[in-house]
Amino acid sequence: MDLENKVIWITGASSGIGEATVYQFAKHPVKLILSARREAELQRVATQSGLPSENILILPMDVEQYELFPQMVQKAINHFGQIDILYNNAGISQRSFVAETDLSVYERILKIDLLSVIALTKEVLPYMIQRKSGQIAVTSSVAGKVATPGRSGYAAAKFGLHGFFDALRAEVYHDNIGVTVVCPGYINTDISKNALSSDGTQYGKMDENQLKGMSAEKCSEKIFKAITENKAEVYIGGKEVMGVYLKRFLPRLLNKIILKQAPK
């Protein structure tokens, strides 16, 4: 993919994988739209990207308010005239068991991790169809392939992303629009700290597996490669990625491994 003057919109751009991916794209002569809730952090990322200020649009947004997406997309189009790559990266995780989790927690996870992604994609899609060009990427998870205890709502949302984007990929193929689903495993970010507990409060702890996981920088290199090479799906991480292949070829063995993680 020739990235010169391409307009790339990254959500969840203020930290973690999103921030690291901003820096990967900023190594090229691109134009970036950066979105997250924290405007000050977006400004920091924009400055650290090294791109000229005229090549960056700071577009703060709360993905739970997807009724505002039409005007957000219009702002982006008015500013740069087009959107070449949309990377839906914003999301939230979970650390709680089904029997203890309030329904409102599930509603919020599904709203952030699934419905908001569908909503923003639908708003951007007509502009890409009109130009017969574009790339749409989304951060799913290895948990979108293999569900484990304490992640039921998160897994439900991520599994849903695969269904939606697999269908979309086939629908827009003849419009020259690519779809990439990114499935990270354990990446060293604050995702576990920011995860929702059973009552909707912040979990506030760093998982040991997360702490030992791949760096966000290395992960972003693989994401950049997957998006620019129009990969349909990519798995990123360490040995946890083997779960995807165990599920496909040795599902009974995987089930035994997962059962060992069940609450005592």
**Nearest-angstrom CA–CA distance, 30 and 62:** 24
11 in Cβ contact with 90 (< 8 Å): yes
**Nearest-angstrom CA–CA distance, 146 and 139:** 15
**CA nearest 88: which of 70, 112, 106?**
112
* Three-state helix/strand/coil letters over 55-117: HEEECCCCCCCHHHHHHHHHHHHHHHCCCCEEEECCCCCECCCHHHCCHHHHHHHHHHHHHHH
User: Is 186 a known active-site residue?
Assistant: no
SS3 177: strand
The catalytic residue among 154, 186, 203, 235 is 154
Other beta carbons within 10 angstroms of residue 6's beta carbon come to 22
**Nearest-angstrom CA–CA distance, 66 and 50:** 30
Q: Show which residues are catalytic.
A: 154
